[in-house]
Amino acid sequence: MMSPLNLYELFESRFSQSLDQPFIKTVSGTSHSYRALADASARLANRLTDLGASPGDRVMVQVEKSPWAVFLYLACMRAGFVFLPLNTGYRADELSYFMQDAEPGVVVASPGSSLADMAGTAPHCAMLTLDADGAGTLTDGISAVETNHTIVATHADDLAAILYTSGTTGRPKGAMLTHGNLASNAIALHQLWGFRPDDVLLHALPIFHTHGLFVAINCTLLNASPMIFLPTFDAGEVIGQMPDATVMMGVPTFYTRLLAHDGFTEALCRDMRLFISGSAPLTAEVHDAFRQRTGHAILERYGMTETNMITSNPLSGERLAGTVGMPLPDVDIRICDDQGDAVEVGDIGNIEVMGPNVFKGYWRNPEKTAEEFCDDGFFKTGDKGRIEEHGYLQIVGRSKDLIISGGFNVYPKEVEVVIDELDGVSESAVIGAPHPDYGEGVIAVVICAPGQTVDENSVIAHAKSHLASYKAPKGVIVLDEIPRNAMGKVEKNKLRQRFEGYFTEAVQ
Residues that bind ligand AMP (CB under 6 A): 165, 210, 278-281, 300, 302-305, 324, 381, 383, 395, 398, 487
Nearer to ligand AMP, 45 or 216 (CB): 216
Q: What are phi and psi of 94, to 5 degrees?
A: -65, -40
Nearer to ligand AMP, 152 or 430 (CB): 430
Nearer to ligand AMP, 278 or 327 (CB): 278
Nearer to ligand AMP, 158 or 383 (CB): 383
Min separation Cβ 175 and ligand AMP, Å: 8
Nearer to ligand AMP, 158 or 416 (CB): 416
Q: How far apart, in whole angstroms, are the C-alpha atoms of residue 337 and residue 473?
A: 26
Nearer to ligand AMP, 105 or 356 (CB): 356
Q: How far apart, in whole angstroms, are the C-alpha atoms of residue 362 and residue 359?
A: 8
Min separation Cβ 397 and ligand AMP, Å: 8
Nearer to ligand AMP, 285 or 456 (CB): 285
Nearer to ligand AMP, 241 or 350 (CB): 350
Q: What are phi and psi of 200, to 5 degrees?
A: -130, 120
Beta pairing partners, 227: 24, 201
Min separation Cβ 248 and ligand AMP, Å: 15
CA-nearest of 348, 333, 347, 322 to 416 is 322
Min separation Cβ 416 and ligand AMP, Å: 12
Min separation Cβ 2 and ligand AMP, Å: 25
Min separation Cβ 118 and ligand AMP, Å: 25
Give per-residue burial for 440-463: e unless 16+ CB within 10 Å, then b.
Answer: bbbbbbbbeeeeeebeeeebbebb
Q: How far apart, in whole angstroms, are the C-alpha atoms of residue 258 and residue 235?
A: 6
Nearer to ligand AMP, 180 or 397 (CB): 397
CA dihedral of residues 169, 250, 77, 378 (deg, nearest 10): 50
Min separation Cβ 300 and ligand AMP, Å: 5
Q: How far apart, in whole angstroms, are the C-alpha atoms of residue 137 and residue 126?
A: 11
Nearer to ligand AMP, 167 or 194 (CB): 167
* C-alpha separations of 293 from 12, 189, 275, 321, 451 in Å: 39, 27, 13, 16, 22
User: How is 51-115 classified by DSSP, letter by letter?
Assistant: TT--TT-EEEEE--S-HHHHHHHHHHHHHT-EEEE--TT--HHHHHHHHHHH--SEEEE-TTSHH
Min separation Cβ 46 and ligand AMP, Å: 33
Beta pairing partners, 332: 354
Q: How far apart, in whole angstroms, are the C-alpha atoms of residue 427 and residue 22?
A: 40
Min separation Cβ 196 and ligand AMP, Å: 24
**Cα 5 to chain centroid, rounded:** 25
Q: How far apart, in whole angstroms, are the C-alpha atoms of residue 152 and residue 238?
A: 38
What is the helix, strand, coil percentage profile of the chain, to 5? Answer: 30, 25, 40
Nearer to ligand AMP, 186 or 472 (CB): 186
Min separation Cβ 171 and ligand AMP, Å: 15
Residue 367 makes CB contacts below 8 A (sequence gap 6+) with none
Residue 419 makes CB contacts below 8 A (sequence gap 6+) with 425, 428, 430, 444, 446, 459, 462, 463, 473
Min separation Cβ 50 and ligand AMP, Å: 34
Count of alpha carbons within 13 angstroms of residue 80, beta-carbon side:
17
Q: How far apart, in whole angstroms, are the C-alpha atoms of residue 99 and residue 226?
A: 34
